[in-house]
Amino acid sequence: MPKTKTRSAAKKRFKVTGTGKILRRPTMRSHNLEHKSSKKKRKFGRNIEIAGSDYKALKQMLRIK
């Protein structure tokens, strides 16, 4: 039986930590930055953990056990 492949789109957009958390980039960070506060722009540098409701679907896409 062939190996199952990871979804290419998912592997480019999400990162799995050593403890099994799935991280994503924050939204709204790509344009209109002159209208956003410095505090908000600083927080864009950090990755955010995904919502619990999305975990099951992403786990399947990334082929995490």
Query: In this structure, are residues 49 and 23 in contact, taking their beta carbons and an 8 Å threshold?
Result: yes
Domain architecture of the chain: domains with CATH: 8-61 (4.10.410.60)
The reported pLDDT for the residue numbered 22 is 96
Residue 15 belongs to what H/E stretch?
strand 14-16
pTM of the model: 0.81
Per-residue pLDDT in tens (0 to 9) along the chain, 65 residues: 888 899 999 999 999 999 999 999 999 999 999 999 999 999 999 999 999 999 999 999 999 88
